[in-house]
Structure 1
Amino acid sequence: MEGCCRSCMPCCRRLWDWCWPGFRYPRVPNHNTVISNPGAQAAEIRTVSGDVRVPTPKKRPVQLYAALFDFEARCDDELSVREGDKLSVLEQRGEYVLAKKVTGSLQAGLIPANYVALLQDEFAKHKWYYGNINRVKAEKLLLAQQNKDGSFLVRISESHSDEYTISARSEGKVYHFRIQRSVIGAYFVSDKLSFGTLGELVTYYQKNPRSLGVQLVEPCAQQQRL
């Protein structure tokens, strides 16, 4: 009724406003309106104060699991694993977990929950792991007289707390290689080759120095706390 009265007798607008008070929403703009910058992305919206970029959500560190036993899939929904396989658990489903392999075929499927276990921080046991030291400290340690070419260490990345860096001495200089994490928790320096654990990555590049470009011979000789 309100719409009919307003359209038939617009001259009585004040009367209609008195009869039907309340907030009236503005008209929706025509969908054929041309945007001044059609190439603009949603992450860059121009406002009166300038361009504003929406910050990228911080990536949560991925928890890594290991298969405790061999398991053969009995249907298409299940995942075959071998003891020691590294997995990323996506969700719990009753007595099963939906898991995804972090290396190799990257397949996903259901596994009995009691067949997997969370891997704790295993890096501290390695002599090459120096934890939370910065680039300058790493270079000072590696260039000390106790170390020669081929000395190396692994440290937590200064810019990404859930990633790591290999610092290695070669020809009297120190080179740094960022170890990134994939969305399923795998470790990699090159996106062509990933590993389930940090230890596996280091061992591979120790045996294949050409892949990294420098030799990883011995862990840094000077102790971490010096």
Structure 2
Amino acid sequence: MEDCCRYCMPCLGRLWNWIWPEFRYPNVPNHSSGDVIENPATEAARISTVSGDVSVPSPKKRPVQLYAALFDFEARSNDELTVKEGDKLSVIEKRGDYVLAKKLTGSLQSGLIPANYVALLQDEFAKHKWYYGNINRVKAEKLLLASQNKDGSFLVRISESHSDEYTISARSEGKVYHFRIQRSSIGAYFVSDKISFATLGELVSYYQKNPRSLGVPLEEPCAQQRKQ
């Protein structure tokens, strides 16, 4: 009868679905019988497919990023952290113009440090005065347009859209220009696909000596704004 009704009057499909439901819901586990899922995440880690159960891999833990202190900083309150230039740190979170950081050597203390006193340490880039690590475009422009900087001032920062790439931000004629530094399939650094470099330092050095290739001069690293 069901097949006949569905065939002859398909426009009443909603009625037939109500009378003869197509889907059967699974029985709800009876908690009183002890049939209880103690850890729903464990159940969700397996997905049933036509070819059998497939295990879903656990999400990978994000590796701890290593930072370095660029300058000495003396704590002025119990919330702040005293660091020496070169101290290795892990940054827990950003708080306005400060970061909550933890020392990775010595006392292993944690506390607040001005955000521009630390730099993400990748391939020893933090040793360069022009390397400003993980700052955004707005912050870079603010630093470069500050009174202590002039045309030719520049910095290198981590790209906001690609964490494995970088950006040169340079001041010229009172404006700030940004140039994306990309990575090739073999790890070389380049701004133009006409020439690439084995290291970030080599790329910066080349454009300092050949400003016409970039279009703006790279004369002096951006002057760091220190907290008083």
TM-score after normalising by structure 1: 0.46
- Bigger RCO (CA 8 Å, 6+ sep): 1
